Amino acid sequence: MRTLITGASSGLGAEMARQFAAKGHELALVARRRERLAELRDSLPGARVLIQALDVDDHDAVFRAFADRAVQFGEGAIGGLDRVIVNAGIGKGAPVGTGRFDVNKQTITTNLLSALAQCEAAMQLFRARGRGHLVVVSSMSAVRGMPKAMTAYSASKAGIAAVAEGLRAELLGTPIKVTTLFPGYIRSEMNEQVAQRTPLMSSTEDGVRVMVRAIEKQVATAAVPAWPWRPLGVVLRHAPLGVIRRFA
């Protein structure tokens, strides 16, 4: 199995790389911090691990990087990637209308527009090849529009989940599969501050183990970890705004 993971230099992406490498998967790991990718590669056992510095906000570079890694994996120009995990993301944001359009724009750019670029680049390879597995890392915060600093973030994650669902509907019954993961709180660099404040935080290893299991089963969607996030997702979906406004 040959898997490309974006945002593999820390957190969930790096841990997915460790867990897939332990299963003998061949990996292509991309992120901006190349030195972190090199350290990770050197710590992984066995199978081939390719690394490349890539800023996913450089959309032309995303298309080039995916196509090049596919060729490097060796099935000719139409590509040798079996799976692409669209994971790179940022957790920034500010209440809308408070003078920080720059931060909210950056969040929507990286988490939605650049994630769309990654889906486009991956799907181009998968369509040419007639098979493949696209995995999109959304968030539990996509379930509702979230207040204050999370508004743009939740919108970005809802947007990319909708892109994945549209593709899944289009490709139903074909050898191209699409999985959307909705993580709750899993310890990573992104949520170091939240980690002190919530008892709902999973360890990186445990949370990612659940993600990896869902990916390998090629499920359509999964709240990860399932407990407590699957039932909480249902509650969130139906909660009145008075409850939602406390998520800030």
Ligand X SMILES: NC(=O)c1ccc[n+]([C@@H]2O[C@H](COP(=O)([O-])OP(=O)(O)OC[C@H]3O[C@@H](n4cnc5c(N)ncnc54)[C@H](OP(=O)(O)O)[C@@H]3O)[C@@H](O)[C@H]2O)c1
Q: Could you tell me how far CA 97 lies from the centroid of its own chain?
A: 28
**Residue span binding ligand X (CB under 6 A) among the ranges 42-50, 51-59, 128-136, 169-177:** 51-59
Residues with Cβ within 8 Å of residue 160, at least 6 apart in sequence: 86, 111, 112, 115, 116, 119, 136, 138, 142
Interacting residue with ligand X among 87, 107, 154, 179 (CB under 6 A): 87
Lookup: tokens for 143? 């379930």
Footprint (CB under 6 A) of ligand X, residues 8-37: 8-13, 31-33, 36
Closest CB to ligand X among residues 32, 127 = 32
Distance in angstroms (rounded) separating the CA atoms of residues 163 and 157: 10
In the complex, least distance from residue 141 CB atom to ligand X, rounded to whole angstroms: 7
Closest CB to ligand X among residues 177, 187 = 187
Q: Is residue 186 part of the contact set for ligand X (CB under 6 A)? A: yes
Q: Is residue 110 part of the contact set for ligand X (CB under 6 A)? A: yes
Residues with Cβ within 8 Å of residue 242, at least 6 apart in sequence: none
Closest CB to ligand X among residues 16, 129 = 16
Q: Is residue 56 part of the contact set for ligand X (CB under 6 A)? A: yes
Q: Which of 93, 14, 30 is nearest to 66 (CA)?
A: 30
Among candidate residues 20, 126, 153, 182, the one labeled active-site is: 153
Q: Name the packing angle between helices 114-129 and 151-171 (round to 10°).
A: 10
Interacting residue with ligand X among 108, 190, 220, 226 (CB under 6 A): 190
Identify the DSSP state of 171: H
Interacting residue with ligand X among 90, 103, 200, 232 (CB under 6 A): 90
Interacting residue with ligand X among 135, 136, 137, 161 (CB under 6 A): 137
153 a catalytic residue: yes
Contact (CB, 8 A) for 87 and 139: no
Answer positive or negative: Cα dihedral of 184, 185, 187, 190.
positive
Q: Is residue 191 part of the contact set for ligand X (CB under 6 A)? A: yes
Chain residues in the site for ligand X (CB under 6 A):
6-13, 31-33, 36, 54-57, 87-91, 110, 137, 139, 183, 185-186, 188-191
